[in-house]
Structure 1
Amino acid sequence: MNDPSSQQPTITHMTDVTAASGWRLALPALAVTLFAVLVLYRETVMSMVAIWARSETFTHGFLVPPITLWLIWRIRKSVAVLAPRPNFWVLLLLAGTGFVWLLGELATVGVLSQFAFTTMLVLTVPAILGFPVARRIAFPLAFLYFAVPFGEFALPQLMEWTANFTVLGLRLSGIPVYREGLHFVIPSGSWSVVEACSGVRYIIASLTVGTLFAYLSYRSLKRRLIFIGVAFAVPVIANWVRAYMIVMIGHLSGNKLAVGVDHLIYGWLFFGIVIMLMFWIGSHWREDEHPPIMERVNTTESTLGRRKSSPLAVALAAIVVALIWPLAEWKIDRNVATEVTQIEPLEAIPGWPVTEKFTDWAPRFENPSAASQATFGADGRLVGLYIGYYRNQDYSRRLVSSSNVMVASNDPRWLRVASGSRKLDLGKQALAVRSAELRATDTQRIVVWQWYWINGHQTSSDFVAKAYTALSRLVGQGDDSAVIFVYAPKEQGDAVLEAFVKAAEPAIENALDRTREKR
């Protein structure tokens, strides 16, 4: 009778040989496929790199790929004993992700294209190496998503929270505060919560480093998730405290401290101390790694079984699937309409003749293909109308963008002091609009309504506007779009704007339709 213990080295040897022979084909196939994806989607790659280079918020993106490679390298021995098992079914997911990338490009939503591109890189691993290998390096692969410049969408909410906490803290400290929107006045001066006060840089930095720390320090999923949650919550709360402290330092010092460059220095110094404390406390619950021999025993079971697909065949198929979507975008981009030089004139609006303008305000929308602005008035009522038209959009000229706003945060004259929304019943259709109250430095106040027109569809949602744009381009109808603003003096209010919109909407719609038809 054979001794069972004498058979174990043979099984281990056989699985090692199987794994080694599989890696000799799979690794070159994976490298070629990843290189092909990088080349095919190089514009998306370069857009990510450009953001890393120009934005301090996302500079960490340069470190993410090397860290991912290092994380895989440190567990290379446990990965090497797994035999690669290519999986053709993953190509279906790869194709779906490529379609999402195409939608992102058609709608000029860079972050969607970048997430889709990163997902394609991640899916290449289970496609060519198989799910056992992909599961073993799941965290390093997931860490790649920190390379995507994502998170600035939360700026408005984070700024609102910071302003709320700061004002509450000042009032609890016995300091009287007069607040309008993100701007407030205390006896020693006025303050504003701008993008740099949102804390988004702190949050993204803390989440990135905190997630890596949780993976390296803990073994249990529960502890990892708890620490990641703490890594998110701590910088949010710390930023509120930081903003309050800076205002208090400025107030108590007669605005001699914390009002210039030292404002930023104090912020980063405080954040650094808080994060160091967070990691120091987290290290007390550190879990040691499992012995390598146990990891090897558990993973060798996955090496049994034969490969059902060739890595080279799957790699070739993956490259073909990846190639489809840049080709589709190239073909759609060939359908370029003639440039718009001006918006077709409005027909006469009953009861609202053109008159002299009553304000110098204009929205901050960049690079429209054409734009028009006019003022209408009757019986003491005054309403302004601005239309910005966009055609043949790209990342340098697009309707919906974070840089296209009613008022820039650094505008020297105008401030947004209130925001909201309204729904109008126009008879045949309902129209939802964004509303805002703006105040000028000379105390003039205006009420502004805004909405979008996308190839005949009207919406006030950025998301819906992008979806309409992508769908319109996908079916070959172009990307003709417009933003519409109506505004009136604050004292006249929403009633005057509603009356004007009901009278002017058919003329606006007709002018936009006629402009679109001139392709």
Structure 2
Amino acid sequence: MAAILSFVSVLAAWVVLYWDSFPPLIRRWNTDDYSYCWLVVPLAVYVAWQRRELLPKIITPSSRSAYGALLLAGVLYFLGKASAVDALVFISMWFCVLALVLFVYGWRSMKAFFFPLLVLAFAVPPPPFINRTLTFKLRLISSDISVRIMQFFDIPVFREGNVIDLGVIQLHVVDACSGLRYVFPTILLGILMGYWFNSRIWQRILIALATVPTAIFANALRIAMVGYLARNVSVETAENFFHDASGIVIYLLSIVLLALCSLFLNFLGGRKEEQRAESPKGFYAQPAGRVVHLFLMAAVLGLYFAANSFLLSERVIPKRPSFDNFPLTFGHYEGKRDFYSDNILESLGSDDYFAGVFRDSDSGRDVLVLVTYYDYQEPQRAAHNPVSCLLGGGGWSLSSSRDLPAEPDGRPIKVRRLLLDKPGERLLAFYWFQQRGRVITDEYMNKFYLALDSITRRRTDGALVRVEMLLNDGETIEHGQTVLDNFIKNFSSELKPYIPE
């Protein structure tokens, strides 16, 4: 009975500690890229049940290692909360599970639990910056391979970046078509397939290494099939296949390719039966000892929750004027404010915002502005790199990204310059994080100072500022930059009172 109560107390403390982190985790699981995560927890439990025979007869809990894992879970939890990085909080959840396993079964049982814990790690969605990096590279790779496949079958095709021109149709290989949503589940599929069908370590490693090329090739073949259908059947058939059935084709093809690879490796190296672990000699820990450690683990998780609540209660929120009073006329600029719908405001998560269009009376150019301000930032509501938002729709591709230093006689602050393009249009965008007296263009440094100020100053307030303009035909980037520099020179002085130093 005491053992059951101790386990329930740990489970309850774990749920309470991470209660506000479950909604963002579930939202990530509900996206197309990470919908496979719903299967991860049942799979991990099933694999652990399969490997129960590998548990040694004599179980010695590893309390020191367990407390170390619990401490690391706490560090990741507070760093994630302080720097508003959800991924660190999610990883903290996993380390708590590891600590529980070590408290109950110890290192001697890792032969049984290592693989289920590895599978469970796939329930943690990667940080957004990994998505952005992989997506950009995978789009180009998938586009290049698909064009080569179509050229092999004598299909006339021309590629420019991530745009594939077939004459009768143009395929834009945007983020959703990059193949990223197939990479992680294919890796998981390969690891499970290697575990179930291959018994030798080198075979399982080769299967795991084959998963990424398999996913990329399958996605490129999907795009090539769309091109074939567009040229030889109809554009409507190609478009319907591209959006409806192509995902199923990729998964089935990936399963077939990995299964063939697994069979071939078994043919080369054969299979061997996995032996049950020998009963090692050692001290048999009394159940009461484990019960005490589990109650202590629940108490530590409770302390983490209390400490986080204390930090939240001591949060400093500076006073500031609302953007409702932001001037729409300054210098030779005249603006018009835009108001977003409730759905957009919910996705922004900001406490105040300013969105509008300013016209330069001298040049007649329109400059789009978006400023999102946060009284405090946490993983569910924080300023983030706007690249993913800019690339999230409309078919834009990132052409270049670089920092521009402040200019003594011009733009008074440093900015990050982005050049985005799509067929027939180019967008020049500047952005910067203006937070607690600092102007930062690097999102990782912004997270660092966010965590630092959260601990030392109890402040996480700040804003993200975006300034954008469409470039005219034939207009150079340098000329467009001059237009935006002049605007920011006037705009930044008007913005300053609305963002506390």
User: TM-score of the superposition, structure 2-length normalised?
Assistant: 0.81
The one-letter amino acid of 1:188's match is V
Letter in 2 for 1:476: R
Matched letter for residue 273 of structure 1: L
Whole-Å Cα distance in 2 between the matches of residues 403 and 34 of structure 1? Answer: 38
In structure 2, do the counterparts of structure 1 residues 484 and 238 end up closer, same or farther at CA, with 3 Å as the change threshold?
Answer: same
How far residue 244 of structure 1 moved from its aligned partner, in angstroms, is 1.5
Contact 2:391 2:397 in 1 (8 A): no
| Distance change (3 Å), C-alpha of 1:51 and 1:449 | closer
> Given the alignment of the two structures, is residue 478 of structure 1 paired with residue 460 of structure 2, yes or no?
yes
Deviation sequence 1:394-453 (CA, Å, 0-9, x none): 5664322789622542x3xxx42552123323257983513113458xx55443233332
Corresponding residue for 2:172?
192
- Quote the offset at 1:243 in angstroms: 1.0
Change (3 A) 1:238 1:102: same
- Structure 2 CA distance for aligned equivalents of residues 190 and 78 of structure 1: 55
Shift of 1:316: 2.8
Shift of 1:234: 0.8
Residues 66, 176 of structure 1: CA spacing in aligned structure 2 closer, same or farther, 3 A cutoff? closer
Q: Is 1:458 aligned to 2:439, yes or no? A: yes
**Out of 229, 240, 245, which is 1:249 matched to?**
229
Is the Cα–Cα contact under 8 Å of residues 186 and 212 in structure 2 kept in the other structure? yes
Which of 104, 107, 115 is residue 91 of structure 2 equivalent to?
115
Distance 2:136 2:495 in 1: 31
- 1:64 maps to a residue whose letter is V
Structure 2 residue aligned with 1:75, among 44, 51, 57? 51
Q: What TM-score does the superposition give when structure 1 sets the normalisation length? A: 0.78
The structural deviation recorded for 1:345 is: 4.7
Q: Deviations over 1:157-196 (max 9, x none)?
A: 32232223334444564514263x4334321122211333
What does residue 16 of structure 2 align with?
39
Task: Tell whether 2:201 aligns with 1:221.
Answer: yes
SS at match of 1:258: helix
The 3-state SS of whatever aligns with 2:400 is strand
Q: Separation in 1 of the partners of 2:381 and 2:62? A: 42
Cα offsets for 1:74-130 (capped at 9, x unmatched): 332432513232413532332232221223234433233212212221222224432
Distance in 2, Cα, partners of 1:72 & 1:64:
12
Which deviations, in whole Å up to 9, do the C-alpha atoms of 1:26-52 show, x marking residues without a partner? Answer: 776455424431332133234434443
Structure 2 counterpart of 1:137, from 92, 95, 113: 113
Alpha-carbon offset, residue 354 of structure 1: 1.0
Contact map agreement 2:316 2:459 (CA 8 A) in 1: no
Shift of 1:275: 1.5
SS of residue matched to 1:248 = helix
- What letter matches 1:90 in structure 2? A
Q: Which amino acid aligns with 2:482?
A: A
Give the Å deviation of 1:230.
Answer: 1.0
Name the CA distance, whole Å, in 1 between partners of 2:199 and 2:4: 28
2:498 is the counterpart of 1:515: yes
Deviates most, 370-379 or 103-112 = 370-379
What's the Cα RMSD here? 3.7
Cα distance, 1:507–1:88 mapped onto 2, change above 3 Å: farther
Secondary structure of the equivalent of 2:245?
A: helix
CA contact (8 A) 2:56 2:108 kept: no
C-alpha displacement of 1:342: 0.3
- Tell me the amino acid that sits aligned with residue 16 of structure 2: V
Alpha-carbon distance, 1:476 to partner: 0.9
Q: Which letter maps to 2:137?
A: Q
Contact in 2 for aligned 1:29/1:128 (Cα 8 Å): no
2:300 corresponds to 1:321: yes
- Please state whether the residue corresponding to 1:175 is helix, strand or coil: coil
SS of the residue corresponding to residue 208 of structure 1 reads helix
| Alpha-carbon distance between aligned partners in 2 of 1:323 and 1:402, rounded to the nearest angstrom | 36
User: 8 Å contact 2:355–2:371 — kept in the other structure?
Assistant: yes
Does the alignment pair 1:98 with 2:36?
Answer: no
Cα deviations across residues 358-382 of structure 1 (Å, max 9, x unaligned)? xxxxxx9953421143435476484
Letter paired with 1:437: L
Give how far 1:516 is off.
2.7
What is the CA deviation profile of residues 309-328 of structure 1, one whole-angstrom value per residue up to 9, with x for unaligned ones? Answer: 93233223322322233333
Task: Note the C-alpha offset of 1:227.
Answer: 0.9
Q: How many residues align?
A: 474
1:267 deviates by 4.2
- Alignment partner of 2:163 out of 170, 183, 186: 183
1-structure distance, mates of 2:496, 2:389: 24
Asked if structure 2 preserves the Cα contact closer than 8 Å seen for 1:128 and 1:311, the reply is yes
Max Rg structure: 1
Match of 1:398 in 2: 382
CA contact (8 A) 1:386 1:484 kept: yes
Q: Is the 8 A contact 2:135 2:175 kept in 1?
A: yes
Query: 1:463/1:343 Cα in 2 relative to 1: closer, same or farther (>3 Å)?
Result: farther
Map 1:10-29 onto structure 2 (within 5 A): 29=6
Q: Residue 339 of structure 1: CA displacement?
A: 8.1
Q: Evaluate the alpha carbon distance shift between residue 83 and residue 397 of structure 1 in structure 2; reply closer, same or farther with a 3 A threshold.
A: closer
Partner of 2:290: 311
Indicate conservation of the 8 Å contact 2:3/2:287, yes or no: no
Take 1:65 and 1:248, find their aligned partners in 2: how far apart are those partners? 39
Q: Residue 328 of structure 1 aligns to which amino acid in structure 2?
A: A
Structure 2 residue corresponding to 1:232, chosen from 195, 201, 212: 212
Q: Structure 1's 344 and 330: CA in aligned 2 closer, same or farther, altered over 3 A?
A: farther
Q: Aligned match of 1:467 in 438, 448, 458?
A: 448
Q: What does residue range 57-68 of structure 1 map to in structure 2 within 5 Å?
A: 57-68=33-44
Matched letter for residue 182 of structure 2:
Y
- Percent identical pairs in the alignment equals 16
In structure 2, what is the equivalent of residue 424 of structure 1?
404
Give the Cα–Cα distance (whole angstroms) in 2 for the partners of residues 406 and 333 of structure 1: 32
2:272 matches 1:288: yes
CA distance, structure 1, for counterparts of residue 71 and residue 414 of structure 2: 37
- What residue is the counterpart of 2:333 in the other structure? 354
Q: For 1:339-365, what per-residue CA distance to the aligned partner results, in whole angstroms no more than 9, with x for missing partners? A: 86307757998xx621579xxxxxx99
